[in-house]
Amino acid sequence: MLRWLPLSSLLVLAAAGSFSATAHAAQYLPPAGFTLPTQSATAKAACPPVPPPYTGALRLRSKYEGSDAARATLNKEAEEAYRDSTRTVDAMERQVSKLVQRGDSRCAINALESWARAGALTSTDTSHTGRSVRKWALASFSSAWIQMKFAPHSALNTDPAAAQVEHWLSQLGTLTARDWRGLPLNKINNHSYWAGWALMSTAIVTGRDDLFGDAVALLRIGLAQVDARGFLPNELKRRQRALAYHNYALQPLVMLALFARANHVVLSDAENAALKRLGERVIAGFDDPTPFREATGSEQDRHFLEQPTNLAWLEAWCTLYTCPAAVNNRLAALRPLNNVRLGGNLSRLTGQNLVVAGD
């Protein structure tokens, strides 16, 4: 039987070194698509230069700096400063995902080991934006690492650097759990769901019960927030970006539900209905955002639809629920759908014929 601590009582580890990252590594399993054999990379191919590890303070500026409570108006100067500050983190997320997708485990391990040795992203001098960057990066790294760890004949089994990387991912998991713990319900939004996904993928890598329990708790909290109309009240606050942020919140929630199912966590009928209601509300909004406009009093910004990465979650969604022909046709025209922070090529990892690992 799976056991976990409730979110409110989850304890922070006394020291990062007090947990063995490799303990109970087989306790939790990813969905079957994450265990597929990786492509065969050229053994002698030179590894690309690794982006410099980010070891500075995580007190970063928000691209919405100076905005009102809706946090929906971009500050171009702050956005440029943010992108400058996070350039190496973004580059590292993309590089690791690309290396894993092309089957180059050796270079991916080496890259992550260099960041692990440097203690990258472990600063406790943080802002809300800095804590967000940490959890997004952790989601990218852990979801990529899963694919190497659970692939047949995994290279991690014989690479001594693997333990150091997993210890570092575990340390980031401890920090991420602490970063997003104890928020009041009116402050729990897409950021907490992304933290949950980062913790879920890290729990699969490390076998940590506390991170797994924290992730499931955040999933349940998110589903409990879906109202009768299929809206997330805290995302409606984003006014003209409400539809975009509902779509953004769905990405980690769908992955959390998929991974929870793979580990035999049973959602209630109400929770399943809430996720379905939320997804259907957002999908309908792609073509007709009128309900979002009426709920917020603002015309909706739908520029996010121009980036296929923002729709990659639909691949996983269609393994959980039956998708209408219009959605399937939309996906067919966009494949392969890739989202680095959800694991990469979701068209490959979460197909509609997905078999749950362990069944």
Check pLDDT > 50 for residue 11.
Answer: no
Query: Terminal CA-to-CA distance of the chain, rounded, Å?
Result: 15
List pLDDT tens digits, range 47-80. Answer: 999 999 999 999 998 887 766 666 667 788 888 9
Beta bridge partners of 345: 338
- Mean pLDDT computed over 78-104: 95
DSSP string, 104-145: -HHHHHHHHHHHHHHTTT--S-B-HHHHHHHHHHHHHHHHHH
What are the backbone angles phi and psi of residue 228, rounded to the nearest 5°?
A: -65, -25
Name residue, tokens 């499931």: 216
List pLDDT tens digits, range 179-221. Answer: 999 999 999 999 999 999 999 999 999 999 999 999 999 999 9
DSSP 311: G
Q: Are 144 and 96 in contact (CB under 8 A)?
A: yes
DSSP 58: B
List pLDDT tens digits, range 207-260. Answer: 999 999 999 999 999 999 999 999 999 999 999 999 999 999 999 999 999 999
pLDDT at res. 128: 96
CA–CA dist 23, 171 (Å, integer): 14
CA–CA dist 295, 284 (Å, integer): 15
3-state SS class at 73:
coil
pLDDT at res. 245: 98
CA–CA dist 269, 272 (Å, integer): 5
